Amino acid sequence: MKQFVLSGSGAPGISSLSPTSGAVGSVVTITGSNFAEVTNVRFNGFEAATFTVDSLTQITATVPSTANTGPVTVVTANRGTATGPSFTVMQAPVLISQVYGAGGNTGALLNADYVELYNRSDAAVNLSGWSVQYASASGTSWQAASLSGTLAAKKYYLVKLAGGTTGAALPTADATGTMNMSGTQGKVALRNTTTTFTGSTPIGQTGLQSFVGYGSANAYEGSGSAPAPSSTTSIFRAGGGSTSTGDNKTDFSAGSPSPRNSSFGSVVAPVITSPTTASGTVGQSFSYQIAANNSPTSFAATGLPAGLTVSTSTGLISGTPSTAGTSTVTISAINSAGTGTGTVTVTISSGGGGGSSYTANFEDGSKEAYASGSVTLNGLSWNMTEALIGGSDAGDFKVGSKSVRLRGYSSSVMAMLADTTGGMGVISFQHRRYGTDTQIEWIVEYSTNGGSVWTEAGRFTAGATAATFTSTVNSGSNGRVRIRTNATSTSNRPTER
């Protein structure tokens, strides 16, 4: 026979709840004292669906479907009633926290549409059998993407939808679907079944957990729709995805897209992002920077050509190659979560007429305005028109602390004003667009007669990720190089070198 030994006056008392918030059906542990002769447990006056007296100091109770936010009470037959802390009932613990519908479109920052969810409760939620659904701004036909797995408390869940080729890739998605959402207007709903909604609005239909109408949608929560996103913006729910006042107009705002998956906030192994090719010349200085996301703390490289080494702390591969040939180099970036690996094909040529080398070191120079002017880099003078040496701007791509930023005007050019000596072997540099600017074509040329005649060495268009331009000239004559735009207008499309 179970015996309870009461303390003090014998009246019950509640000291804490765990968790302090959750959905209908959540199991709550109530800690306190003198839990004897308990006849009922209530959530803001509504009787618990079930409860069990585990001991004199603990009760487990299930939040009833009728409950709303308010104090928890424990009722006894003869010893009175204890009133404890408030329990927050979240009728919709999982909310739509972010929407982006322009994935892969012209000018898009990301290559796929997505819907992001957030579990604002203190308990995990099983999403198996749930769905994210979409209808056009005035449509009545809904499409569904099925969800699976369990979403931990205070975590995000990323649903990747249709897309294209323009823009960066999303983080690893937690679920996928095929819906092709509008980038500016539409309706997105979360339902705890996979049965699609009917009609123009899901409001009032069973199973609805969260809903947002955006842009010119004909249905929404509250006084108005959420603002229209674009190719460069998504819409975010306030409070990191936890705020729900029942009004899409005030709960959402537009901002730069930032998709978050269930691993967001956790340490994730690095992913290599640096170019997959590099080139150099025997006897000439070589430099390649290993780049990776997710904050690597050390680096490694194996299979390097003779004469090259890697800095394990910075990831810079450098040195002077001594042997011509092509090598497949395995590069690694490491942090506490693991190792990210990739390969880079390094081509070392024998060069063309002399074996000397020249590297335009941007760290040497200073030019803060786009106006035409000259600057000395590693002992040679360069003219820069509609170009500057940048590095402090967050949009600048650089290896080191500086790079050259050229605007896409018809007059934009950076050109050597003096020749290198010892012949010309390979012209090589890294490039990337500035920020998110639309890009144009650039022409790389060289001259072996003091700049009277220029010969094209190649062309490139800077993209969203760093790439390497390489052209083998193999001329035994002294020479100089210039990079100019192929534009015919005065549009401003900076690129970085």
In this structure, the number of other CB atoms found within 10 A of the CB of residue 57 comes to 16
Whether 75 is covered by a domain: the verdict is yes
Domain total of the chain: 4
| Chain position carrying tokens 């640096």 | 274
In this structure, the number of other CB atoms found within 10 A of the CB of residue 44 comes to 16
Q: pLDDT band for position 9 (50/70/90)? A: low
Rounded to whole angstroms, the Cα distance separating 288 from 430 reads 9
Residues 299, 208 within the same domain: no
Rounded to whole angstroms, the Cα distance separating 203 from 197 reads 10
Q: pLDDT band for position 139 (50/70/90)? A: very high
61-70 confidence digits (pLDDT tens) = 988 766 778 8
Query: What is the reported pLDDT for 91?
Result: 66
Whether 5 is covered by a domain: the verdict is no
User: Can you give the pTM of this predicted structure?
Assistant: 0.43
Please, is 67 exposed, middle or buried when counting C-beta atoms within 10 Å of its C-beta (0-12, 13-18, 19+)?
A: buried
Q: Which residue has the higher pLDDT, 262 or 425?
A: 262
Rounded to whole angstroms, the Cα distance separating 451 from 230 reads 46
Residues 98, 84 within the same domain: no
> Do 114 and 102 touch, CB atoms closer than 8 A?
no
Whether 264 is covered by a domain: the verdict is no
- Collapsing DSSP states into helix, strand and coil, what is residue 328? strand
Rounded to whole angstroms, the Cα distance separating 478 from 444 reads 17
Residue in 114, 119, 23 with CA at minimum distance from that of residue 62? 23
Query: What is the reported pLDDT for 355?
Result: 43
Range of the domain at 410: 362-496
Rounded to whole angstroms, the Cα distance separating 458 from 449 reads 19
Domain boundary pick from 191, 224, 255: 255
Residues 141, 241 within the same domain: yes
Residue type at 431?
H
Domain boundary pick from 89, 121, 147: 89
When the pLDDT of each residue in the chain is averaged and rounded to a whole number, the result is 88
According to DSSP, residue 248 is labeled H
Strand partners, 32: 14
Buried b (16+ CB within 10 A) or exposed e, 124-148: bbebeebbbbbbbbebeebbbbebe
pLDDT at residue 226 tops 90: yes
Residues 160, 223 within the same domain: yes
pLDDT at residue 298 tops 90: yes
Q: pLDDT band for position 88 (50/70/90)? A: confident
Residue 176 sits at the vertex; the CA angle it makes with 173 and 181, to the nearest 5 degrees, is 110
Residues 305, 377 within the same domain: no
What CATH number is attached to the domain comprising 407? 2.60.120.260
What CATH number is attached to the domain comprising 312? 2.60.40.10
pLDDT at residue 39 tops 70: yes
